Structure 1
Amino acid sequence: MVASEPIEPEPEYAGKKRSQIISDSDDFLNHADDIIEKASINNNRVKEVVVATLFAKIIDDAHAIRLLCDQGWTIQGEIIVRSSLETLFYMGACDRDDEALKNYLCKHTLEKRRNINIAKNEPEYFDQATRREVLSWEEEVTREINERKLKRLSAKTAADIAGVTDLYLAYSLHSDAGHSNPYYLQEKYMSFDNDLPCQINYGQNPVQYENVLLSSNVILALACKWYRKIFAIECDPHIEQITLPYLKENA
């Protein structure tokens, strides 16, 4: 009788086996479809935001995200970077009618600013009436931002004032007051050219990464630490390099 080869234990990522991560991901896709259907969301960009956020909540770990990317999942950094406030807004569509959603959109100064940027740069994103309304906020929002002197605030304080827990929305204000458009962040802080090393600017100290996938994981890890508190205990050294200065500054 030939002895069978020992079966290697299934690798775990943040306490979850690979098969469980894949299974959870299949479940989450069904859940995302349900949310999108209930909210009557027909905008592909918004669908991506909803899907990416649900994905992050289920996986709960940057290394697991990398695993699924390796398995062929298309999780682009540009999706992860987008404003969590936008995501919360659309996920809230399950519990609100359209009018309430419009009111919710108007609630936060920084969210108004983000939508002003979108209305200017992506005219097709809103219908004409909504676009006119959004653009009418600009004078008020500019005045509020100037009064609060957000340029001088730390990223954490900017987020607290805005009533949001979105590192990237706050980070944009910390670096360039008023730029709360996630696409602006993508252009300013990240490079997605596969032929070039990815660079994320942290203060005055740019950090180079060897590949785009790692930078996407860095972004997700930061976001998780900020509003989910699920950052992996054993961190990739590159992730520690970018996160530790920020975490010490805002301890």
Structure 2
Amino acid sequence: MLRRSLLLLFALSLSLSLSISHAEETRTRIALAGDSTVTDKAGWGAAFAKLLGPNAECLNFAAGGQSSKSFRDTGNWKKVLDSKPAYILIQFGHNDMPGKGPKRETDPATTFPQNLTRFIEEARAIGAKPILVTSLTRRIFDNNKIRGELKPWADAATKVATEQQVPLVDLFTRSVNLHNKLGIAESDTFNPTVVRPPTEAQTTDRTHLNAHGAEVIAAIIAEELHKVAPDLAKLLK
């Protein structure tokens, strides 16, 4: 009797395990490729993942300091492809700018669009659907208006999306408009806390996001996906 009970318990446990495993396998994978503004800790990644329903999972491969060039060179892009996602959201630009060094810098007229195009081609080659996301703006104001120094890279991404016929989430334009409307003081509520030793100069981080900022930006991305990628948007809550 005890033996039969143990066998029954084992069978139920195995069945439950297989059911959980099957559910995990059937969930649609959405991969994120980008720099620190896409990461879970300093960007919108984790907040976006919370907006997904039970039939999807978010795999965030974004990493701090990455550009469209270094993301491939450091092997991060290969990790994205190896994860076999159904969708890949791709956002770069911040570290492609001048001053980041030859291992990261790209030209918005040449090498940056070339890198994005290659990402798109390789994503499609594994059966994934690429979606370009233009750079999240820095919250730096000149004469009470967002400076918008990332515009050449955002424009380049927009052009690539049109040429390659892939969905585009124009986060740059949306975030610039948002912060111009909010103004300096309200925009500063998006800033993460920067802790530095007393001997170092204290700085304000107007590039990355705290939890509040991440939630607002993730909601904008979700809203845009409903417009440009309705098949993916069905996976949102």
Shared fold (TM-score greater than 0.5)?
no
TM, length-normalised to structure 1: 0.29
Q: Which has a greater percent of helix? A: 1
- TM score, norm. by length of structure 2: 0.30
Compare CA radii of gyration and give the structure with the larger one: 2
